[in-house]
Amino acid sequence: MSRSHKIAAFFKGIIIAFAIVLVIEGGYLLYQNGFISIDILQMSNVGASTNTPTGDMEGDDSLKLQGDIAEPVNTGEDLTFDASTYPYRELLNENQQAIYNQIYTNALEYNTETFTLAASVDSDELSEAINAVYNDHPELFWLNTSYKYGCDKSGNVVQVQLSYGISSSDLATAKTNFDNAIATIVSGASAYSSDIEKELYVHDAICDLTTYDTDSSLNQSAYSALVMGSTVCAGYARAFQVVCQELGMTCYYLTGTADGGDHAWNIIAVDGDFYNVDVTWDDSISESYGSSVYTYFNLTDSAIGVDHTRGTFSSKLPACTATAMSYTNVYGSTVEIDDITNNGGGQITDGNFTISEPPEPVIDWKNPKGDATSNDNNNPPGEMGPEGDTRQDDMGMQRGPGF
């Protein structure tokens, strides 16, 4: 070997050795810090995983963890939640409940930064905790159905970053319009004395106000139904939930399947008993028929189970077995499930049924009891930038002729 080749080989050996040392040292430091570094994925301001057909929160483990883990912030450890109003939290273990409080607090404060979790959970437990927040709190309408998280070397989730569907600059105006829309319906419903009348009023108000549209923006939120006037089943169900909650009525959000497609609807308590309500399908059937119908208003699990099945998480909520406050028992006949072909066409058959005149609450949901005062709070909050233009997938039903 020539002298020049020996020198080249010598320096090449030094470079290789140095590279090996760097790899070993870096790996040791990575191990000492307890991090697994994951290449970060591109995520837009509205979230990379918002197009989930189930409406559930979905995360990706793309956070790149660097340096020391900061102390948890905005933990919400002093918060308490009424189990009868927020049932999904009660289904969580102690660590998940701590994270539930923290997710709620950070979403409420519109925290866009990565934050350290207050308790140790795996990714499945985190998913349950975040979905519990999402299912319990329709008022957090700006929270997207996507989030990012990073894990340590043991697979425990260390940090989380939430995403939002409305920009921070538009949020104040959006909240005002959202609150006004709720207040308008609550005011009208409050003119009635019984819970069943209030429930019917809210049901009809949302049906009259909202159009089913899979292309609508923010359509996994109550905001899309109440302010923007177009949504999918997640929006219908969250809108019904948030208005009923404002009225002091117990109302829960359910996810599952309907006719084999992902779907969302509600459970409501009336006079101490629980009932299933599917505002989306009632509105869709009403549009197909040309008159207000109440096929999916206050059904038992057995009755709605003909074409609806609860998901795993929602199956843990109260059973619905009462019939006293079903629509037919209180108000009379309506289109029954057996009179409808829910095979993709969604058309009403020529069965032997009659449609009663709609009860008083559906005459004009904005002007109950003959009040001619106009109150239009349905204008969107101005122009929203890219953060506010998130379009999400359908959760099952097709509307109108394609329903």
Could you state, in order of their start, the residue ranges of all structural domains in the chain? 58-164, 171-402
Angle at the Cα of 292 (from 310 to 301), degrees rounded to 5?
20
Going by C-alpha positions, the residue among 248, 243, 302, 238 that lies closest to residue 270 is 248
**Mean pLDDT of the residues in the chain:** 77
Residue 371 has pLDDT above 80, yes or no: no
Angle at the Cα of 97 (from 94 to 100), degrees rounded to 5?
160
Q: Which of 96-110, 182-196, 243-257, 337-351 has the lowest mean pLDDT?
A: 337-351
208 against 42, higher pLDDT: 208
Residue 18 has pLDDT above 80, yes or no: no
List, for residues 75-104, the tens digit of each pLDDT value. 999 999 999 999 999 999 999 999 999 999
Which residues are CB-neighbours of 272 under 8 A, at least 6 positions away? none
- 10 Å Cβ neighbour count for 92? 19
Joined together, the tokens standing for residue 114 give 């990565």
pLDDT over 90 percentage in the chain? 56
Residue 9 has pLDDT above 60, yes or no: no
Going by C-alpha positions, the residue among 335, 333, 323 that lies closest to residue 298 is 323
Going by C-alpha positions, the residue among 361, 397, 200 that lies closest to residue 288 is 397
Q: Do strands 58-60 and 157-164 pair parallel, antiparallel, or not at all (unpaired)?
A: unpaired
Residue 56 has pLDDT above 70, yes or no: no
Residue 397 has pLDDT above 90, yes or no: no
Handedness of CA 80, 128, 214, 201 (dihedral sign): negative
Model confidence pTM above 0.85: no
Residue 6 has pLDDT above 70, yes or no: no
Residue 373 has pLDDT above 70, yes or no: no
Q: Do strands 273-277 and 297-299 pair parallel, antiparallel, or not at all (unpaired)?
A: antiparallel
Q: Which of 23-32, 115-124, 269-278, 339-348 has the lowest mean pLDDT?
A: 23-32
Angle at the Cα of 213 (from 212 to 214), degrees rounded to 5?
125
28 against 129, higher pLDDT: 129
Q: Do strands 211-212 and 230-231 pair parallel, antiparallel, or not at all (unpaired)?
A: parallel
Q: CA-to-CA distance for 347 and 349, rounded, in angstroms?
A: 6
Q: pLDDT class for 333, splitting at 50, 70, 90? A: confident
Residue 66 has pLDDT above 80, yes or no: no
pLDDT score recorded for residue 338 = 82
**Domain 171-402 -> CATH class:** alpha beta
pLDDT score recorded for residue 58 = 57
Q: pLDDT class for 67, splitting at 50, 70, 90? A: low
pLDDT score recorded for residue 355 = 47
Going by C-alpha positions, the residue among 112, 30, 106, 26 that lies closest to residue 68 is 30
Residue 312 has pLDDT above 80, yes or no: yes
pLDDT score recorded for residue 44 = 22
Joined together, the tokens standing for residue 120 give 């140790």
- 10 Å Cβ neighbour count for 355? 16
Residue 297 has pLDDT above 70, yes or no: yes
Q: pLDDT class for 340, splitting at 50, 70, 90? A: confident
- Mean pLDDT for 336-365 is 52
